[in-house]
A and B are shown apart, each in its own frame.
Chain A
Amino acid sequence: MHPREGWQADGTPPRPGLSRRGFLRQSAAAGMLLGGAGSIGSLLAACGSGSSGGSGTPTSNGIPLPRPNHPVTWPLFKDNQTIKSGLLPEKGATLKIYNWVAYVNQKCLDDFGKKYNCKVELTTFNTMTEAVTKLASGQANFDVFMGVTVDVLGRLIEQKTIKPLNHSYIPNISQAWTDFTNPFYDQHWQYTVPYTIYTTGIAWRKDHVPENPYTMANPWAMPWQAKYKGKVAILDDYREAISLGLMKNGIYDLNTTEQTQITKAQQALQELVHLTNVHIDNNDYTEVPSGQIWIHHAWSGDMAAAAAYMPKGVPVDVVGYWFPPDGKGPVGNDTNTVLRTAQNPVLAHLFLNYLEDLPNVLTNISFNGYMQPINGITEQRLVGDGILPKSLVSTVVLPSYFRRGVSELQLPIATDQLWQQAWQSVSHGV
């Protein structure tokens, strides 16, 4: 038995001999009291068919928490089955996609529509929190949910918001890096296909900000400078922002359940608000190139695409992107999924397949800047094809980052609320 097996999610030591019955009884009690429909069924399924949620994986009231050393195979539910194989794509349909702002190339959507003779309708959202809430409010009828971060997968699967995939429609998965065909957060890729890989770092304007984060003692503290008041921004994402506060304080467990650490991060961010009137938005991809913001907590892909947003006459090498050279920073990947309420599930699967094909991936990257874990996507290819400027190769994501880096993963519900509360008292709803 692995030494870490049996540890509770909140850090209390393992209880020896936690029998299956005991586990069931305790999670059943928690789940049944206020449970959503089918929670008992899901718990039983989780403990029964082929899930490792039984003894070793940390859980939150029965929902397993995937970790790199504790991979999770999600349960499959009777009332949320995959579609049959061999079906033809829907005719005269409108494929409805729900995705982040500026996260997929319209050209890819148009080409897909031409190839499969359908219309494609894109609805965008600004934050993952908002997207999950809107989906839960019902009646959305999207087919594809793109850019899903791995920390919300547990919730989406247990609430039966996303549909398990039928692999026969997605042969292009063979082009993906092998690490991502059996990821720890979704073993046997039952519900997701990988979309993008990215790091989170700090973008800055070299022509306005003389400091160089590569030579700073604590580069994560770069935004905390009062002289840049009004010119600093952080990402509008509660995980990313609180993580920034944690790392500024030297804490690298980005899934911490410790209230004291979360409070420290919150206070650091509140100090940032007072010092710099910090903006909170996900518009690093336009604001740093346009010079509106000089120091932005940023995602690698957004900055890789900076060349397209530079104003006339301003060269792209004034934009810098810093990620810790030792790889100890947030690294992550997004996924694409099919929704259970999809009206066009076959087209949805085909769309997921379409975005795993190298030529389409290159088209996509040339717009949104985000690398995808597809064979053939390398730094040399991106720079050689002119997609990535040489001055921004720091945005490249290496496979080794996933071993050394830290990731923001699924949190237990109670901890998630602590993080949300901390973020709310910083952002004030903005």
Chain B
Amino acid sequence: MFWAALAAPGIIWLILLFIVPFYVVLAIAAGQLNQLFGTPIAAWNPLDWSSANLVGVWHNIVGSGAFVGPIIIRTLYYTAAASVISLLIGYPAAYFVARFAGRRKALFLVLLIAPFWISYMMRMLAWIDLLQTNGYVNKVLTFLHLVSHPVNWLGGQSYTVILGLVYGYIPYLILVLYAGLDRIDGALLEAGRDLGLGRVRTFLRVTLPLSRQPILTGMLITVLPMLGDYFTNQLLSGTPGTAMIGNVIDGDLSTQAFEGQGAVLSMLLLLALVVPMIYYVVATNRSSREAV
């Protein structure tokens, strides 16, 4: 069939480079450690699978002296805080540009989505420069007498990491929110106005329910990458006290003896996120069919 032949390269590619790799991760996760060199050995045959790595990771999560459990909780906390803050900041801005920008909408839109094309590293670099003890943020704060002496922003503070996450991921959220809010039919809002609703009531009863889908989608594409973030913490803090689960996985991968544990953690993270991911796919499929 012609169409099947067109889709075939993509399908083969997906199988080889998207589905098979997860089996490799499973094989490493269920594999063993070479006792002579301390290197990981993959267990390709399910009959050879060992639970050594899983037990090790489990021990690290809930055993005595476990350190991964608190890290998981901290990751959830940082991600929740960062996404809520992102929503609180991003929604009003997206709402304004989508509905009230009038003739200057193009200008606002360009400014709004410009950070989308500025690489994450550059954005973090900008803040590292500003947050130094003798950097501009401290200079401004001490000048305005808001603090008595310079704040050690980069000294391993959780609020620095959370704000870094907000700054880094908000452009993606804003874009999705903007697109969703833009799509709301103006006629519906006018109808609300005609029926006598003020601006706030219109917002609460018309706009907000209609923006539920963009909010959910936006939250998903913000929260999911944030859960795997390790570089924000590394650049803005560099201390174990603010480590996220991504740091543990990344660190595991750099140490031969722990590659298996890294594979296990990665699989566990995937399992935990499977439901939100599937929800996103179903929602995308549904909305694309509705758009016809």
Contact = CB atoms under 8 A, between A and B. Distances in A.
Interface of A: 30-31, 33-36, 39, 61-63, 127, 129-130, 132-133, 136, 155, 158-159, 229-231, 273-274, 277-281, 291-292, 413, 416-417, 420, 424-430
A313 to B, nearest CB: 13
A279 B156 contact: yes
B239 interface: yes
A132 B252 CA distance: 13
B213 interface: no
Nearest to B158: A277
Nearest to B68: A428
Interface string B122-156: 00000000001100000000000000000010111
B254 A430 contact: no
B80 interface: no
The CB with the most chain B CB atoms within 10 A, among A273, A278, A430, is that of A430
A291 B133 contact: yes
Contacts of A33: 35
A98 to B, nearest CB: 15
Chain A CB within 10 Å — which of B32, B37, B156 has the most? B37
A63 B34 CA distance: 13
B255 A155 contact: no
A368 B243 CA distance: 31
Contact of A420 (B34, B155, B258): B258
A289 B53 CA distance: 42
Contact-size category for B:
35 or more
Nearest to B265: A429
A159 B38 CA distance: 11
Interface stretch (B22-30, B195-203, B230-238, B274-282): B230-238
A220 B4 CA distance: 69
A155 B251 CA distance: 20
Contact of B39 (A36, A62, A426): A36
A428 B238 contact: no
B38 A130 contact: no
Interface of B: 32-39, 41, 60, 65, 67, 71, 132-133, 152, 154-157, 230, 233-234, 238-241, 243, 247-259
Contacts of B41: 34
A413 B36 CA distance: 7
B180 to A, nearest CB: 36
B115 to A, nearest CB: 27
Contacts of A426: 240
Contacts of A36: 34, 36-37, 39
A125 B104 CA distance: 49
A429 B72 CA distance: 13
Contacts of B67: 424-425, 428
A277 B254 contact: no
4 pairs of A and B residues whose beta carbons are closest in the complex: A429-B251, A230-B155, A428-B243, A277-B156
Contacts of B255: 129-130, 133, 420, 424
Most buried by A among B33, B234, B239: B239
A429 B155 contact: no
B43 to A, nearest CB: 11
Nearest to A422: B65
A230 B242 CA distance: 12
Nearest to A269: B240
A420 B257 contact: yes
B36 A424 contact: no
B141 to A, nearest CB: 17
7 contacts: A34-B34, A61-B36, A230-B155, A277-B155, A416-B38, A416-B257, A427-B243
Nearest to A27: B36
B247 A129 contact: no
B37 A155 contact: yes
A133 B254 contact: yes
Nearest to A154: B37
A261 to B, nearest CB: 16
Nearest to B255: A129
A430 B243 contact: yes
A149 to B, nearest CB: 15
Contact of A39 (B36, B60, B256): B36
Contact of A280 (B37, B157, B240, B259): B240
B249 to A, nearest CB: 7
Contacts of B60: 425
Contacts of B257: 416-417, 420
